Structure 1
Amino acid sequence: METVEHAYKWITTVASWLPLPLSYPSTLIGRLMPNHVYELYPPAELEKRKQELKRRFPFPNSFFMDVRCHGCLLVTTPVYSHTQTVVDCANCFMVLCKPTGARARVTEGCSFRRKTDD
């Protein structure tokens, strides 16, 4: 608690030296002393938006999935979520996934689910 009070006193004295008026010196405390609880346990929405290696616990955005063909109901497994080739059904040769710039686009009518570690 003393460090926060000390920082506030320091900021108010520094603010008095600056040529621009600072009506809210307490806003500088947030910049100089970040909330450590917020850094230890960031919200899930912010963690998802971060790049995969800069998260608190790095994990990839890609995954393997089971894709079910809507023509013959055959389950094709595993299909990589960021595949760069066209994935066809082994039974009826219908296109299941098409590559895009990032994630593969599952064809309309086909269903998919994330593959688990089981």
Structure 2
Amino acid sequence: MLPLLACGDTCVIVIPGRTKKKPEHPTELESREEAKKFQEEEKMVLAVDLLNPSPAAEARKHKLKTLVPAPRSFFMDVKCPGCFTITTVFSHAQTVVICQGCTTVLCQPTGGKARLTEGCSFRRK
């Protein structure tokens, strides 16, 4: 039931919650102020350093998502085990590479990097 207040000949009905909007609850204001102070005083520290990632973390990322985007393919000098001639081969070669001197297969294509045959040594250029 609504409370009634008598004021002379007229009655005034007071309905709780229907008055002019009050400022925010004081506890909410205090908590907001405390939160602002906390943010100003304490610097939030990330668990992961984004500017100095570990080499292991960089190796797991996609080649374009790393800190410095770079291709992962390279050229290499492959030494034939039979005649010891050196042939330059792309790391992701898509065709069979044959030695010019003795016609042995140096590497075979796969879906990604080319697979060197056994006995072939290489160095990255």
Could you say which TM-score interval applies, normalised by the shorter chain?
0.5 to 0.7
How far apart are residue 97 of structure 1 and its match?
0.5
Write out per-residue CA displacement over residues 8-43 of structure 1, whole angstroms, 9 at most, x where no aligned residue. Answer: xxxxxxxxxxxxxxxxxxxxx7xxx6347x100000
Distance 1:75 1:61 in 2: 22
State whether structure 2 residue 39 is matched by structure 1 residue 3. yes
Give the share of equivalent positions with the same residue, in percent: 53
What secondary structure, in the 3-state scheme, does the structure 1 residue paired with 2:83 have? coil
Q: Which runs of 5+ in 1 are unaligned?
A: 8-28
Distance 1:95 1:4 in 2: 66
Q: What is residue 57 of structure 2 aligned with on the other side?
A: 46
- Give the structure with the larger helix fraction: 1
Q: Please, what TM-score do these two structures have when normalized by structure 2?
A: 0.64
Q: Please, what TM-score do these two structures have when normalized by structure 1?
A: 0.68
Distance 1:39 1:46 in 2: 10
Q: What is residue 12 of structure 2 aligned with on the other side?
A: none
Q: What is residue 34 of structure 1 aligned with on the other side?
A: 46
Q: What is residue 124 of structure 2 aligned with on the other side?
A: 114
Q: Which runs of 5+ in 2 are unaligned?
A: 1-36
Distance 1:81 1:71 in 2: 21
Distance 1:6 1:114 in 2: 48
How far apart are residue 4 of structure 1 and its match?
7.7
User: Which of structures 1 and 2 has the bigger CA Rg?
Assistant: 2
- State the number of aligned residues: 89
Q: What is residue 90 of structure 1 aligned with on the other side?
A: 100
Highest relative contact order (Cα 8 Å, sep 6+), 1 or 2? 1
- Give the structure with the larger strand fraction: 2
Write out per-residue CA displacement over residues 39-93 of structure 1, whole angstroms, 9 at most, x where no aligned residue. Answer: 000000110110000000011110000000000000002x100110000001101
Label 1:50 to 1:40 Cα distance change in 2 as closer, same or farther (>3 A).
same
